[in-house]
Amino acid sequence: MRDIPFVFFLAAVLCVMTGMSLGIWMGMAQQFQFAPVHAHLNLVGWATMALFAIYYRLTPQAAQGWLPRIHAVLAITGIIAMASGLAGEIAGRNGLIPALQVGSLLTAASMLLFLFTVVRFGFGTAPTRAGRMARDAAMTPAE
């Protein structure tokens, strides 16, 4: 299996390609009722997933274990359900409203999990003990 940053970045690119394709179709057909779906795919899908990928690449200690995998499942499932449910609601298929609701909750849960991850691991590569000692030595005033 590919690493977590790759999974998030692939999901981001798939979301933006879908969102852009929908945007092109809307423009060509002059049918703009699906603009909210287009916006969610581009913002929640592309921008958020790409930021998750960048974070996990820059903070590799946060990308280890089962927590980032749960994060990926929640986030990816959430955007798929949210976009599908929103499109269904716009198209008048009220039977898809639960997908929109579940997708929204999954997306919110993935962001809460991301908040926990950021608080737990910080941002960027954690300095090694040797790196901290070198930094501290460099900050000590010369005699």
- pLDDT, residue 135, reads 59
Q: Which two tokens stand for residue 59?
A: 């903070």
- The distance of Cα 48 from the centroid of its chain, to the nearest Å, equals 4
- pLDDT, residue 61, reads 95
- pLDDT, residue 93, reads 82
Per residue in 62-113, pLDDT (tens digit) is 999 999 999 999 999 999 999 999 999 998 887 888 999 999 999 999 999 9
* Residue at token pair 């609701």: 101
pLDDT at 134 over 70: no
- Taking the C-alpha atoms of residue 78 and residue 111, their distance in angstroms, rounded to an integer, is 11
Domain ranges of the chain: 4-124
- pLDDT, residue 97, reads 87
Do residues 23 and 46 touch, judged by C-beta distance below 8 A? no
Per residue in 20-63, pLDDT (tens digit) is 999 999 999 999 999 999 999 999 999 999 999 999 999 999 99
Q: Which two tokens stand for residue 132?
A: 């901290």
